[in-house]
Structure 1
Amino acid sequence: MDPKEKKELSESDIKAKFITPAIIKSGWDEMTQIRREVTLTPGPVVVRGNLSSRNKKKKKFADYVLQKEKGVPVAVIEAKDNNHTISHGLQQALGYAELLDVPCAFSSNGDGFASHNKAALVGEDTETEFALAAFPSPDELWERYKRSRGITDQEEALVIEPYYDDGSGKEPRYYQAEAINRVIEKVAQGEKRLLLVMATGTGKTYTTFQIIYRLWKAKKASRILFLVDRNILADQTLVNDFKPFGPVMTKIRNRKIDPSYEVYLGLYQALTGPYEEDKIFKTVSRDFFDLIVIDECHRGSANDDSAWKEILEYFDGAIQLGLTATPKETKYASNITYFGEPIYTYSLKQGIQDGFLAPYKVVRIDIDKDIYGWTPPPGMKDDLGNEIEQREYNQLDMDRILILNQRTKLVAERVMKLLNATDPFQKTIIFCEDIDHAERMRKAIVNASGQLAKDNSKYVMRITGDSVEGKAELDNFIDPESKYPVIATTSELLTTGVDAKTCKLIVLDKTINSMTTFKQIVGRGTRIDESQNKYFFTIMDFKKATELFKDPEFDGDPVVIYEPDNDDDPVPPDPPPPDDDGEDGEGEEGGGVKRYQVGGITVYIVSERVEFLGEDGQMVTESYRDYSRKGIRQEFASLDEFLQKWNSSKKKAAIIDALAEYGIELPKLAKEVGKDYGDFDLICHIAFDQPPLTRSERANNVKKRNYFAKYGDEARAVLEALLDKYADEGIVSIENNNVLKLDPFRQLGTPVEIINDVFGGKAQYEAALQALETELFKQQAN
């Protein structure tokens, strides 16, 4: 092809005519080994005010991902048009290669390939360029991959065991594939103690299913036990992610292990207990299970005296895989010490930055008696006639030792104020100090919600370990299709292991000292559910619990501080009491602590602060307006640059779409600034401090200048109607030719008749429209 003609081709044409054929000619199967236009990450959700949108500028999108087998990527290729050099896209490709943890990255402009090979042998160049016809074969890139991952020829068969494919075309997300592949590779290499750390909401169960499926199909594991500590987790897994196992799968019931199955889902409570006759896991041989997967392994299996630990030790010859969102590292327990360092970690921070997890905004609320303290007058008695101990009570005492009825009422009213201002039917979890507090909060919400609770008694329910009625509604609470219950008050039950996808509000009226508990509570809101329009969630904090966001440990690497007792002391010292937030169990009513319940004490909110998760992972106070201003100025450095781009743009929708890539959606901005302003004025006003005009004011200014006098009657009628349409709906509506199918245009003829007969053709119609737009925005341009 002539070089000049080649430079006129689009990137898509370059891929279709040069790059794809070169890859196929080198032996890559187009259907199974070449993935094209692969979205690696969708881009983070930006939250400001009550608005959210995706920053698609940060979307990661690979032109090609080459894979040995489904889900086993080995290389990425970035394509550019022929106006770029061969290696122009290599740095971009390297970023994707790092994300996928593959050794080979390539870029091309259709003339040849530039290559970066992390698995280069001694004496080989890491970066090279070569002709299109010299692209490496699948076998060559697979050898590089094996070399980079330390995979031997003997281990290869297990590593390339196919994923389960339901025929829908679903591929694991990049981090899921990496987690799965890491486990399979480690098992192939003979390792038997493995730990995966994946944030809540990132698909641990789907990841686990693929791991088990591949090991099962490869006959590396004939009998598998998936251990959980919540009945609902076993039931969800049985009917959802693990459903393809069908008749070879069972849930262990009736304290009996039936040897006729291959995949077992079990609650550790069903397998063991305090007495020897409870330990039914011992009714099968020690080599019965080949693979044991322990879900949420931070919650017990790491403890030396835990029930899970004795199960793991009994089946010590099995491959054991621990799953957790929060590695547990204390002086007395360490799942890292048991399982070893995590073979893969995908954190909450990374999930939010990638756009797979929902970001959060935080509403911090300080109440006067919490902050300033409260001291009862001498001799004051509580509502039950008990004399209140004379001392100062502060935030740590509230609802644990001192119960102020007005404080509970204030919290409930503030929660309902937020819900009523946004959506009173958004799923909400209120974390309380204990069961008693959860019940009092339930009553306070009933009273604060008024007609909402009258219309349905299940609008708010206490879901705690002692409430049969509440626990019976748990499935309905987490079901996106079930409207009620809307609000759940709880103390511990919902901290972990409950897949509440649509939870949009988490209220913290609970003292939280444990980072593990805090991470799990935050995890209740991190799932994105697009079908329910859930892209972010709100944390309303009354107890300064969100100060833990500032702790480096919140999303940092786990550090082992487990200190096993190696001395000969027959009676080692007792461990300290559990964290005050009762991480390992449901809070008990009363808890053996002397409590005072007092009515009639006035409380009020001292201060409120709203913060958002910034792009650097830190909390910021910034409005959607401020965020938009910053984004617009990234795209247009000055007002002159914007005006030049706006006036020269044939379709203004292209500029609006470019801003949407940053997560700046002008219709949402208009809700905050003024719905009568058009896109042009919103941009000029927000980013460059120009006085705005409404769409109607702009349209009337054009009419006053008698701009239409130069047109004939029919053309004038069309243009005046377009002007009115702009005043009503904005610029994008009149740029779409389909507008001519609507009233009042269709009274003047069909779109074809208007364009050809009235204006003399498409070019003349577009010129008239462009001239109208220039006239519309003339005042600002001057």
Structure 2
Amino acid sequence: MTPEEKARKHIDHQLAQCGWIVQHRDEMNIMAGLGVAVREFPLKTGFADYLLYVDGRVAGVVEAKPEGHTLSGVEVQSAKYNAGLPDNLPHYHLPLPFAYESTGKLTQFTNSLEPYARSRDLFTFHQPAELQRLVELEGQLRGNLREMPVLNTEGLWKLKIETLTNLEKSLAENRPRSLIQMATGSGKTLTAVVASYRLIKFAKANRILFLVDRNNLGKQTLNEYQQYVSPYNGYKFTEEFNVQHLRKNLIDPASKVCITTIQRLYSMLSGEDEYLEENEESSLFESEPSTLLKEPLPVVYNERIPIEMFDVIIIDECHRSIYNIWRQVLDYFDAFLIGLTATPTAQTIGFFGGNLVQEFTHEKAVAAGINVGYDVYRIETQITSAGATLSSQPDVFVPHRDRRTKQTKFRELDNDLTYTANQLDRDIVALDQIRLVIKTFKEKLFTEIFPGRTEVPKTLVFAKTDLHAEDIVKIIREEFGKGNDFCQKITSKTTGKKPEDLLAEFRNAYNPRIAVTVDMIATGTDVKPLECLLFMRNIKSAGYFEQMKGRGCRIIDSDSLQSVTPDAKHKTHFVIVDAVGVCEQDKTASKPLDRKPSVSLDKILAAVAAGVVDADVVSTLSARLARLEQELDDDQQAAITQAAGGVELGTLAGNLLTSIDPDVVLQSAVETFDIPDGEEPTAEQTQQAEQDCMKQAVKPFHDPKLRDAILNTRRALDQVIDEQTRDVLIDAKFDAVALEKARSLVTTFRQFIEDHKEEIEALQILYSRPYRAGLRYGQVKELAQAIQQPPLSANAERLWQAFRAVEPERVPGLGGKQLVDVIALVRHALDPQQLLVPIGTTVEQRYQDWLAEQSAAGATFTAEQRQWLDAIKDHIAGSLSIEEEDFGDVPFNQLGGLGHAYELFGDRLSEILEELNARLAA
């Protein structure tokens, strides 16, 4: 065949797939179906390669070119045909509204009903019903986007208004991809919900797809849609439009928003009727298969999910390099792409064509008071850093724990066992290493990490594996002397309660105080009261690490925080407790994964579970399983056979190998495509047959029970428990970066009070020498509120900790708990030689001095008078002054009020109040 004939053959096939009846001019029957494509149709201006009839009327043309031909130069030819329709032919519009240019490999499309119509690349052709829908619309989507009503800003703060405005401008300009960078906690999902509402209501978008990383984030996203109330009519989003969170491989025709994972979407495009929810529970960061593959996953056309199914695709967490291999899934649809991320990579920005419509980083979020910053507290132990050696001794029995059953058996070691830090909690469990980290964390928690606190702050511990998490939970409960409710494991393998229920308790209830996870809460999950992250696993991916850190940065109002952590005044920052050096090691832009046979079996199985169907992966998996079969005993073989529904491991491996056998694939292609004798299937047909064979062969591995059974036998079945080696604490302190942050905050604070000494009344008074008048509580409150705003975004407690870190010799104790302590901070900043002590401590000392002077002068006070004087002192310590009208409040009204005060002190009352105001808080 000539190149043109090959192109026509491909185009014929694609048109037929998309529901078009392809006919020759001499045999045409335009009423044979809704969509008829007539080849070689004569027009006034030449022959159209294909004239498209929709419901008996002409709607557009297809211009065919050989593979390799550039299509942009064909647009003029298509436009000429669009305008050359014979006068007597039934049609929708003139010129014809729709034009395709295609080589059978590449296709582009122009809708001339759109303003400033320009061509765009398509995966294939639209179905006839879509062209009928488009041609009958009052306004096209891209036209509607240019006429959106002014944004209703009710309930929206500045960042969201700016983001939505920029996004709608980008869409109105017909930019196909838009990237939104918004720091964790700044409202990405809600912004996307508002955008969705306006796109559906005003731009008349037919359907929107919202892609999430894993299933529980889909539930959170659905909740955001359910809670959103329209400022235009007062209806909730889900009362006005149908929102579907996909649990099965079926899209509700009535849905306006579909929420799902990209792996389920790929499963649906692949024609699978089912996809297990268990395969959507883990973050794709944990099982990232992208570097296993040389190219993106292949996608074929599915008539049940045509390219026009979605007008807009919102991609949450789009920074992930996982989208390298899923790229064709995104390119499949004729849709605008909107990316959401807190941490874009250069590759992400490149994918979105550099169209960054919002750039709101974590640093900007901290400065704006939307995020809180963090400090790093490093706990370093000998075993964590260097491993250890477990000695083999006669008659000394060492525990060995079975990974599957968790049962422990005791036996002698054959030889000394030297293990490295990388083997910890996988092959070797050094219980004293875990215990020393937790013990140190507990001992330093209220003295250094969160000084002055008495309640364990909400803490999230990142473990290496589910079994490691079990060990950590047990030791935390023992070291803190608490019960089951205090510390809970929240992973995809948690039983009893659903992980989302435990997560809700962690977020909203007093207990658990500490949650231990592997990756269930690593990304995207919103736990605002979280103040501490304890890393007991290392992370090599820079993006993943940033996402994990993001769990702690969300702000929360003081009342909500205190409802779960009663002694926490404000959330001013969070602390990363680094027990493995995770903050010290270099990170890669994406998780490294060797393509060679050294790739771990769990990564290969995770890639298959996520939907990867690739000859290299299938071949590697087959070889691994064949080797594994030789290593297993009868019991292990039986366990795998049972998990596989009666299929033996050797058969599973053989099926994988057969699926990529060229002869088998060729025969499958011949049968599938009904190739006549003597002819060969095309390369595309052979490739499709291979894909189908491989999909069938890997299907059993979609079941997590089979994957777990294989991995439990592949790994060393026993973990050696090192009970002998005592770990040694090397160091426990805030790292140099935290100290530098403290210095920066102190410097910024000093500059702040210098810059605002003429504007803020409290600073005017404190700068005067001597102080011109006593400070009023309202003036102090004004100062405290100014400090909480950018650029400081701090409070008295946070500033106090910074001064204590920088000048420990001048800050003897804790402080900053009372609002008035900001005065002590300003005085110390103005006179660094003056010790920084809480206002309450200063007032108490001055009060005792005053009492001593009174005693020396012969004045005595009864017990009831002392009770009143102590109460007056306490009021001054909290409010800086006292007046007679304050006696109507607690506790004075409980002591008898102003009348009783005069009965006790007589005419001296006014004199005493004036004297104490001047002496105690001046």
| TM-score bucket of the superposed structures, by smaller chain | 0.5 to 0.7
Q: Deviations over 1:613-653 (max 9, x none)?
A: 76xxx85466999998897788789x999473563124343
- SS of match in other structure, 2:206: coil
1:289-688 matched pairs, under 5 angstroms = 289-299=310-320, 302-304=323-325, 306=326, 309-315=327-333, 317-328=334-345, 334-341=347-354, 342-377=356-391, 383-384=399-400, 385=411, 387=413, 393-417=419-443, 422=453, 424=455, 426-450=457-481, 452-453=482-483, 457-469=484-496, 471-472=498-499, 474-477=501-504, 480-530=507-557, 531-533=560-562, 534-547=571-584, 577=599, 592=714, 596-611=720-735, 619-620=740-741, 642=766, 644=768, 647-653=771-777, 656-657=780-781, 660=784, 661-662=786-787, 663=794, 665=796, 672=814, 687-688=831-832
Q: Deviations over 1:680-707 (max 9, x none)?
A: 7786578443478843553455567679
Q: Structure 1: where are the runs of 5+ without partners?
A: 1-153, 563-571, 710-716
Evaluate the alpha carbon distance shift between residue 546 and residue 667 of structure 1 in structure 2; reply closer, same or farther with a 3 A threshold: closer
Shift of 1:214: 2.0
Give the residue type in structure 1 aligned to 2:352: F
Using the alignment, how far apart are the partners of 2:603 and 2:832 within structure 1? 50
Report the equivalent of 2:257.
263
Report the equivalent of 1:13.
none
Evaluate the alpha carbon distance shift between residue 676 and residue 178 of structure 1 in structure 2; reply closer, same or farther with a 3 A threshold: closer
Using the alignment, how far apart are the partners of 2:741 and 2:798 within structure 1? 24
Q: Deviations over 1:278-325 (max 9, x none)?
A: 279751321121111111123465223x3xx3432221x211112122
State the Cα RMSD in Å.
Answer: 5.0
Give the residue type in structure 2 aligned to 1:353: A
Shift of 1:449: 3.3
Shift of 1:509: 0.6
Report the equivalent of 1:698.
846
Report the equivalent of 1:12.
none
Using the alignment, how far apart are the partners of 2:819 and 2:782 within structure 1? 19
Q: 1:635 touches 1:659 (CA, 8 Å); kept in 2?
A: no
Identity %, equivalent residues: 24
Using the alignment, how far apart are the partners of 1:699 and 1:774 within structure 2? 11
Q: 1:733 touches 1:739 (CA, 8 Å); kept in 2?
A: no
Give the residue type in structure 2 aligned to 1:229: D
Q: Deviations over 1:4-55 (max 9, x none)?
A: xxxxxxxxxxxxxxxxxxxxxxxxxxxxxxxxxxxxxxxxxxxxxxxxxxxx
Evaluate the alpha carbon distance shift between residue 657 and residue 262 of structure 1 in structure 2; reply closer, same or farther with a 3 A threshold: closer
Report the equivalent of 1:170.
155
Report the equivalent of 1:41.
none
Give the residue type in structure 2 aligned to 1:324: T
Deviates most, 289-298 or 673-682: 673-682
Name which of 243, 248, 256 aligns with 1:250: 243
Shift of 1:489: 1.8
Using the alignment, how far apart are the partners of 2:818 and 2:573 within structure 1? 27
Highest CA radius of gyration, 1 or 2?
2
Name which of 297, 304, 324 aligns with 1:283: 304
Give the residue type in structure 1 aligned to 2:547: Q
Report the equivalent of 2:638.
none
Deviates most, 580-589 or 495-504: 580-589
Evaluate the alpha carbon distance shift between residue 161 and residue 475 of structure 1 in structure 2; reply closer, same or farther with a 3 A threshold: farther
Q: 2:460 touches 2:534 (CA, 8 Å); kept in 1?
A: yes
Report the equivalent of 1:689.
833
Q: 1:611 touches 1:621 (CA, 8 Å); kept in 2?
A: no
- SS of match in other structure, 1:506: strand
Evaluate the alpha carbon distance shift between residue 736 and residue 270 of structure 1 in structure 2; reply closer, same or farther with a 3 A threshold: farther
- SS of match in other structure, 1:259: coil
Shift of 1:344: 2.1
Q: Which has the higher contact order (CA 8 A, sep 6+)?
A: 1
Give the residue type in structure 1 aligned to 2:425: D
Name which of 174, 177, 193 aligns with 1:190: 174
Shift of 1:425: 5.5
Q: Structure 2: where are the runs of 5+ without partners?
A: 1-141, 228-235, 275-301, 401-410, 448-452, 563-570, 611-703, 788-793, 801-811, 858-863
Shift of 1:203: 0.9
Report the equivalent of 2:45.
none
Give the residue type in structure 2 aligned to 1:277: G
Q: 2:820 touches 2:879 (CA, 8 Å); kept in 1?
A: no
Report the equivalent of 2:209.
225
Evaluate the alpha carbon distance shift between residue 746 and residue 185 of structure 1 in structure 2; reply closer, same or farther with a 3 A threshold: same
Using the alignment, how far apart are the partners of 1:427 and 1:720 within structure 2? 39
Using the alignment, how far apart are the partners of 2:603 and 2:535 within structure 1? 12
Q: 1:507 touches 1:540 (CA, 8 Å); kept in 2?
A: yes
Using the alignment, how far apart are the partners of 2:496 and 2:576 within structure 1? 26
Count of residue correspondences: 574
Using the alignment, how far apart are the partners of 1:272 and 1:675 within structure 2? 54
Using the alignment, how far apart are the partners of 1:179 and 1:351 within structure 2? 14
Evaluate the alpha carbon distance shift between residue 473 and residue 627 of structure 1 in structure 2; reply closer, same or farther with a 3 A threshold: same
- SS of match in other structure, 1:656: helix
Using the alignment, how far apart are the partners of 2:414 and 2:425 within structure 1? 14
Deviates most, 725-734 or 506-515: 725-734
Q: 2:876 touches 2:920 (CA, 8 Å); kept in 1?
A: no
Q: 1:438 touches 1:490 (CA, 8 Å); kept in 2?
A: yes
Report the equivalent of 2:165.
181
Q: TM-score, normalised by structure 2?
A: 0.53
Name which of 704, 720, 725 aligns with 2:872: 725
Evaluate the alpha carbon distance shift between residue 322 and residue 279 of structure 1 in structure 2; reply closer, same or farther with a 3 A threshold: farther
1:83-98 matched pairs, under 5 angstroms = none
Shift of 1:544: 0.7
Using the alignment, how far apart are the partners of 1:517 and 1:667 within structure 2? 28
Evaluate the alpha carbon distance shift between residue 159 and residue 423 of structure 1 in structure 2; reply closer, same or farther with a 3 A threshold: farther
- SS of match in other structure, 1:284: coil
Shift of 1:368: 1.4
Using the alignment, how far apart are the partners of 2:463 and 2:741 within structure 1? 27
Q: Deviations over 1:88-128 (max 9, x none)?
A: xxxxxxxxxxxxxxxxxxxxxxxxxxxxxxxxxxxxxxxxx
Q: Deviations over 1:435-469 (max 9, x none)?
A: 2211221222232232x21xxx3433322233344
Give the residue type in structure 1 aligned to 2:388: W
Shift of 1:727: 5.9
Evaluate the alpha carbon distance shift between residue 513 and residue 446 of structure 1 in structure 2; reply closer, same or farther with a 3 A threshold: same
Using the alignment, how far apart are the partners of 2:330 and 2:467 within structure 1? 37
Using the alignment, how far apart are the partners of 1:674 and 1:514 within structure 2? 38
Give the residue type in structure 2 aligned to 1:161: P
Q: 1:740 touches 1:750 (CA, 8 Å); kept in 2?
A: no
Shift of 1:186: 0.7
Q: 1:514 touches 1:579 (CA, 8 Å); kept in 2?
A: no
Evaluate the alpha carbon distance shift between residue 348 and residue 390 of structure 1 in structure 2; reply closer, same or farther with a 3 A threshold: farther
State yes or no: 1:235 paired with 2:219.
yes
Using the alignment, how far apart are the partners of 1:561 and 1:546 within structure 2? 16
Evaluate the alpha carbon distance shift between residue 159 and residue 508 of structure 1 in structure 2; reply closer, same or farther with a 3 A threshold: farther
Q: 2:371 touches 2:555 (CA, 8 Å); kept in 1?
A: yes
